[in-house]
Chain A
Amino acid sequence: MLVGIVSDFAIVLDRLERRFAEVEAVAGVSLSVPPGEIYGFLGPNGAGKSTCVRIMCTLLLPTGGSAAVAGYDVASSPDEVRLRIGVALQDASLDPKQTGRELLWLQGRLYGLTRSDTEQRIRDVSSLIDIGDAIDRRIATYSGGMKRRLDLAAALVHNPQVLFLDEPTTGLDPVSRARVWEEVRRLNSVLGMTIFLTTQYLEEADELADRVGIIDGGRLVAEGTPGDLKRSIGSDVIEVHVDGELDAARAAVLAVPGVNAAERRNETLLVETADGPAVVSRVALALNGAGLNVRALTLRTPTLDDVFLRVTGHHIRAAEGL
């Protein structure tokens, strides 16, 4: 078992495993995150994201492999890890009967801050999350967005080196989501904080993360910058909607020169190609030649969902049952 400082990386997972009875929630995940990076951990519900985060946040022990955060092994030096991390879990973990200030105060005290340091940090994080006078109201009166922002403030009171955000915008309206994104960017750019962000929202990972790891079935199936991941499946995607059999359409499209791949997605055929503008008309002609009535052809650049489909065989939203 590793003891003490184990690496210069902010986070290192080495063949991390976690079983719950017969269920293998995490099955050998290895990754490393350098200091100052925003790492997006992308996957559907049940993929193993939250289990990985709970291990890194010292709430769970791994059943195999190892995890080191801020230079310390989570199994052998949990308190050293706890002093250096801030965590906002999936559901804002707050006490509705306390005021925002009381909650932040308690956090500060439990992290050993002096009274004056705690007051200073409450001022700092209050301005950071723009909570205003609401900080002296009971948390029970807060909106969902305010609770998430207070949760974030509680994670920041002690100046952590590494911040874990577990699905920070799930359930938020678009305006609140945009505010959280802005705050995450600011924390990273202004404080230089390492941020490990789990999300099931593709656009969130795309917008925020320097690098993205895609997890499915407890395994890391792809990793890279959002741009690299998208480029890995070809430069363009053509979405095809036809009246008739998609399998026939797929067969017709695959015969078109320049088409790299074609995958069904519900009632849509996704066609990957290196040169969309040149290929789209040929695709239309091939479909027409196969006797299929084309309802729509849409040319777009690839998304992380396309990457997810490529590496897992299913779409992230389909995996969520949406």
Chain B
Amino acid sequence: MSVRADVREARAIHARKAGFLADTLAIATRAVRAIPREPEAIIPALVIPLFFFVVNVGALSDVATAAGGADFNYRAFQLPVAIVFAVTGVSRAAALVTDIQDGYFDRLMMTPVSRLSLLLGLMLADFALVVALTIPVIVLGAVVGVEFATGLPGLVAFVLIAGGWGLMFAGFPYAIALKTGNPAAVNSSFLLFFPFAFMTTAFVPQDAMTGWLGTIATYNPVTYLLGALRTLILAGWDWREIAKGLAAVVGVGSVSMPLAFAALRGRVSRG
């Protein structure tokens, strides 16, 4: 069978393993590119935190100031709550399920792509997205007069901690997506958001909480995440509070990430 010269030239192009970093960036690039094409997935994450921030500040600011004193800045107290609302539960897990159902995940699996990159690439895109989602909330906070006691470095730390939380929390929907391949199951992972977000110091300081809600808030990692974020705005570089917040992020990640990567191992297993 003869092969034409131009074809022989094309054949000189050979496949090879791209490498872990290149694979991860390629998967992340595709995921980032898809984000603006799915506004239905982003609009709630943009609107809900702004809505809660405006409503909570509007409804409770006077009460909180009366209870906490004239120096108590309820707007600054609420800003981290809005940020946590913005970044919690944001992930490409639903898109991953669509890939699995449409067979596109199989197409990726038939390439020599690093299996780890299939998930890490999505998480990299998620991190970029959740960082972007903090911006409108921070801008709104600035508009209503919230300033960072820690200045610009504190703002950067604030965004990174919030982004880290969003990333660690995303391990749960990824675990569900990879384990089940079921969009309804992934959507139901949003239920995890409520106890994490509301059974905590979202509305009042912990020392003002009593009874069972106070007890739950003590064990809720979001309490410590909010504590760290609030410290950066209200108090300054309180390393003890910041360390607690980071520990909360790492603690949740130590549960969610093993679940997600175990589910990935199961999904890419050829057994």
Contact = CB atoms under 8 A, between A and B. Distances in A.
Interface in A48-79: 57-61, 78-79
Interface stretch (A24-32, A104-112, A250-258): A104-112
B102 A83 contact: no
A164 B234 CA distance: 62
Contacts of B23: 110
Interface residues of A, number: 43
B99 to A, nearest CB: 7
Q: Which of B1, B29, B99 has the most CB of A within 10 A?
A: B1
B103 A59 contact: no
Given A60-B270, A93-B102, A159 B30 contact: no
Interface string B260-271: 000000000011
A269 B107 CA distance: 45
Contacts of B216: none
Contacts of A89: 103, 106-107
B108 interface: yes
Given A111-B15, A112-B17, A121-B13, A102 B271 contact: no
Given A109-B22, A159-B10, A190 B4 contact: yes
B111 A159 contact: no
Contact of B270 (A61, A98, A109, A120): A61
Contact of A113 (B1, B11, B13, B33): B13
Contact of B34 (A78, A98, A158, A159): A98
Given A95-B104, A98-B34, A192-B1, A58 B14 contact: no
Interface string B8-46: 001101111111001100100110011001100000000
Interface in A125-180: 138, 154, 158-160
Nearest to A157: B15
Contacts of B270: 58-61, 78
Given A58-B270, A59-B109, A98-B34, 15 more contacts: A58-B109, A83-B112, A89-B103, A93-B103, A95-B34, A95-B104, A97-B37, A98-B33, A110-B23, A110-B112, A111-B111, A138-B37, A154-B107, A158-B15, A190-B3
